[in-house]
Structure 1
Amino acid sequence: MSKADMGRRYRMYPTAEQDVTLTGWGHTCRALWNIALEQRQYLYRQRGVTLMGGEQCKQLAQARAEVGWIKDLPSECGQRVLANLDAAFLNFWNPDHPAAYPSRKRRGARMSIPFKGQTLVVRRLNRHWAEVKLPKLGWVRFRMPRALGGTIRNAVASRDGNGWHISFGVHTGRTPDAPNGKPACGVDFGVAASAFVSTETGPRRMPPTLKPNERKRLKYLEQRKSRQLTYAKKHRDGKYSNRLRRTIRQIATVKTKQANRRSDFTHKLTTDLAKNHGIVGIEDLRVANMTKAAKGTMDDPGRNVAQKAGLNRSILDNAPGERRRQLEYKCRMYGSRLVAVPAFHTSQTCAVCGKTDPDSRQGCGRLFSCVHCGHEDDADHNASIVIEARARRTGGSVTNSTHSTTTVRVPAPRRRRTRETLPATHG
């Protein structure tokens, strides 16, 4: 059977009764994930046996006959949870995959319920609305401004601060476009300038993801949440009150708006880059290393901790990792090629004479002034030209390692960090 090659996400509007049922299913899926993960960890520690989803599905069938809250969940949803856990472990065991060790899902994590595509039925009601028939739940309405365009292979119902959504994995049968033959470009992702393209004269700046009033409200809500948490720990044995839960929901609503605006800018940026260029060069950034905390230890405390925390928030707000992920599949889709080049000294290398000198970039200013040839340019634009030149030298092949060239000194490759109790290899 052909796999899903495209995703479709729509806003879903369940009734009050359906909302209660979906919420209960979401908590059940989270509990099943945590129980299955704990069982695998325990069995490996005690006996050195790697338990997979096939055996756990048999145990799940027995549990459904004995435990009511597991029986309420459609059987296919529980099976999909175990299949997703299998995929998480396989990605972790794969040395070429960046996935970390599977972790437990907290109560406040994103709530999601997976379904098999074969059991779902979708019918359009009118130009803007449709409904999907979910197992043991019936027909649920959702907003459908765009057609599916293919065969449904899987689906996930999820809830965020704005409400419920339904995401379909669809097989469209679309093949990658032929090379478009368009000019190459280099893109420098930053904080002051969200993206500076080498073929453009000005930077692309992401609009503020929160308005001033929303930023003030978010700060107020987080302070109120902190006070309510302190009170709950002192006087309620940690039990959340209804007011605290309401505050958490209000924070989630504001942060969801922020995430949606960030996602909108990211999709528009990556789509434009992939459509209008034949080669897209970017820096091979190590985002996890860039956003490490500066706290230090009790014996050796860090310096400028608050400033580093603010910088980390700004870096993550621009989502460089998500931009790269989107470029990887959009470049294949639109006939262009993505090239990740070493980020070493791109901000200190002159785009005209090619010489690298730290004195050419004084401090963190926006001006690049070469001390050798006198070339002056915006620092981000100069870096984007250097990135484009490095991308052209690779011959247009996709590069996923900092070892893409031999002329640039690069840091040693990272070693995967594993837990002491659970080795990275399966038995």
Structure 2
Amino acid sequence: MGRQYRLYPTPGQEEVLAAWGHSTRALWNLALEQRRYVYKQRGVTLRAFEQGQYLTAARAEIGWLAELPATAGQQVLRHLDLAYDNFFNPSHPAGYPQFKKRGHRLKVSFPGQKVTMRKLSRHWAEVRLPKVGWVRFRLSRSLGGTLRNATISKNGTGWHVSFGVATGIKPVPRMDKPGCGVDFGVAASAFVSTEDRPRRMPETLTKPEKARLKHLEQKKARQIAYAKKYQGGHYSNRLRHTIEQIAKTKAHQANRRSDFTHKLTTDLAKNHGYVGIEDLRVMNMTRSSKGTAERPGKKVKAKATLNRGILDNCPGERHRQLEYKTRIYGSELRVVPAFHTSNTCGNPSCRMVDPESRPGCGRLFVCVHCGFEDDADHNAAVEIHARARRTGGSVTNSTRRRPLVSSPGKPRRRMREAQSVARSGNGNRSR
């Protein structure tokens, strides 16, 4: 399991960690470029073991690589291995590994044997990092297990340390409780079939915060236009400060969204024998809004608000959390097909499918066949519950991800994609 805490480095330690974060990003880009180049020229696939030997030789000649702890550089290569493994795994949704630009999140990883932790008081502790020493962090909860690895990262709110912990917790036996169906939406964040009122996510930004964010975005646009026109695209310190303020506001928004999501999924997993949800494809649901000013997509303005609402409620993250939380608490996740859940009558004696029962995709569902009336989201949750009950456990936690090809005899699409990317040599090489 993961444990994340707020880190409080000194100004000197913060400067070193920021430099290491950029070094790991540059090392990732170099290692990825080397793998693509070697495959393009010789058809050979490099792994972390071979690249580790090149890294050892490069540390003797390149100063910024020598300043980076050797174990942190080796972790970058292992993570690149994992990125390729996930890409070639047909049951994993990961795409082809990409280059990391300068604005990417700063992150440095260490193996557990190179990190030591000690408790100072009830709410404070320290972690010892190679070449940095002891760094204080807020002990918001106990570690609860054996330390396996540590990752130092920075977002808009500051520095954090994440520990990979072996807790030894085993899944509990299946609980004997009734199940439920949950409809994830936009107007109603979640409607549970066994409840008569929806669960709505509180506003992630207050009205003053929204006004301030809009002002900062406009200010950023003006500063970028000025930088392109008069400074050759070079970002000034004022522009970087504006970007940091925007990142801080959005980080607070993400934390509030994550808080609601964790509380929702934990409550569902702990209090129901099984949880039925729709098998949603979020990327397909929000795809039509993609576009640029030069080459706009289809109905971008009409779809933009809906897409923001879908992504703000993060149904994919709720699915991911329910997958492991249901196993921990003795429940079961049952994923059902999403087609016609909004148009099926929730009356057990009717169950007719008719789009006319929900005219204009409004909030009210009125069956045109039997006259049954209900909230549209609750009606969909009841239908999801009925489908999950009929599966009888045949739909399990592993149904979320599907292979990209249906026949094992056909060439793998991901292999062809990887080969085409490697041969093309295209991509951002920002270091």
Task: Note the residue ranges of structure 2 that are not aligned, 5 or more in a row.
Answer: 403-412, 424-431
Give the corresponding residue for 1:410: none
Say whether 1:335 aligns with 2:330: yes
Query: Which moved further from structure 2: 184-193 or 44-53?
Result: 44-53
**Aligned AA (1:169):** G
Q: CA deviation at 1:293?
A: 3.2
Query: Which moved further from structure 2: 159-168 or 103-112?
Result: 103-112
Query: Which moved further from structure 2: 104-113 or 241-250?
Result: 104-113
Q: Secondary structure at the match of 1:167?
A: strand
Q: CA deviation at 1:198?
A: 0.3
Give the corresponding residue for 2:372: 375
How do 1:193-342 and structure 2 match up within 5 A?
Answer: 193-294=188-289, 302-342=297-337
**Aligned AA (1:398):** T
Q: Secondary structure at the match of 2:359?
A: coil
Give the corresponding residue for 2:159: 164
Give the corresponding residue for 2:396: 398
CA contact (8 A) 1:134 1:140 kept: yes
Give the corresponding residue for 1:408: none
For residues 351 and 204 of structure 1, what CA distance do their matches in structure 2 show? Answer: 20
Q: CA deviation at 1:180?
A: 1.1
CA contact (8 A) 2:269 2:329 kept: yes
Q: Which has the higher helix share?
A: 2
Gap change, CA 1:37 and 1:153, over 3 Å in 2: same
For residues 294 and 344 of structure 2, what CA distance do their matches in structure 1 show? Answer: 38
Q: CA deviation at 1:421?
A: 2.1
Gap change, CA 1:287 and 1:27, over 3 Å in 2: same
Say whether 1:366 aligns with 2:363: yes
Gap change, CA 1:305 and 1:270, over 3 Å in 2: same
Q: Secondary structure at the match of 1:422?
A: helix
**Aligned AA (1:422):** V
CA contact (8 A) 2:288 2:299 kept: no
Pairing partner for 1:117 from 99, 112, 115? 112
Gap change, CA 1:422 and 1:141, over 3 Å in 2: same
Gap change, CA 1:387 and 1:44, over 3 Å in 2: same
What percent identity do the matched residue pairs reach? 64
Gap change, CA 1:66 and 1:403, over 3 Å in 2: closer
Give the corresponding residue for 1:422: 421
For residues 213 and 311 of structure 2, what CA distance do their matches in structure 1 show? Answer: 18
Pairing partner for 2:141 from 146, 167, 173? 146
Say whether 1:53 aligns with 2:51: no
After superposition, the C-alpha distances for 1:220-277 in whole angstroms (9 at most, x for unaligned) are: 1111111111111111111110100100110011000000000000000000000000
Give the corresponding residue for 1:387: 384
For residues 354 and 155 of structure 1, what CA distance do their matches in structure 2 show? Answer: 52
What RMSD, in angstroms, separates the aligned Cα atoms of the two structures? Answer: 2.1
For residues 136 and 248 of structure 1, what CA distance do their matches in structure 2 show? Answer: 30
After superposition, the C-alpha distances for 1:90-120 in whole angstroms (9 at most, x for unaligned) are: 0000111111111111111111100101111
Gap change, CA 1:102 and 1:402, over 3 Å in 2: closer
CA contact (8 A) 1:45 1:421 kept: no
For residues 116 and 400 of structure 1, what CA distance do their matches in structure 2 show? Answer: 29
Q: Secondary structure at the match of 1:258?
A: helix
Say whether 1:18 aligns with 2:19: no
Q: CA deviation at 1:298?
A: 10
Q: Secondary structure at the match of 1:324?
A: helix
Give the corresponding residue for 1:407: none
Q: Secondary structure at the match of 2:218?
A: helix
Give the corresponding residue for 1:63: 58
Q: CA deviation at 1:355?
A: 1.3
**Aligned AA (1:270):** T
CA contact (8 A) 1:9 1:168 kept: yes
Gap change, CA 1:136 and 1:399, over 3 Å in 2: closer
Task: Note the residue ranges of structure 1 that are not aligned, 5 or more in a row.
Answer: 1-5, 405-414
CA contact (8 A) 2:346 2:382 kept: yes
After superposition, the C-alpha distances for 1:162-187 in whole angstroms (9 at most, x for unaligned) are: 11000000001110011111110000
**Aligned AA (1:105):** K
If asked which structure has higher relative contact order (CA below 8 Å, sep 6+), I would say 2
Gap change, CA 1:62 and 1:218, over 3 Å in 2: same
Gap change, CA 1:97 and 1:311, over 3 Å in 2: same
Aligned residues: 410
For residues 163 and 153 of structure 1, what CA distance do their matches in structure 2 show? Answer: 23
Q: Taking structure 2 as the reference length, what is the TM-score of the superposition?
A: 0.91
Q: Taking structure 1 as the reference length, what is the TM-score of the superposition?
A: 0.92
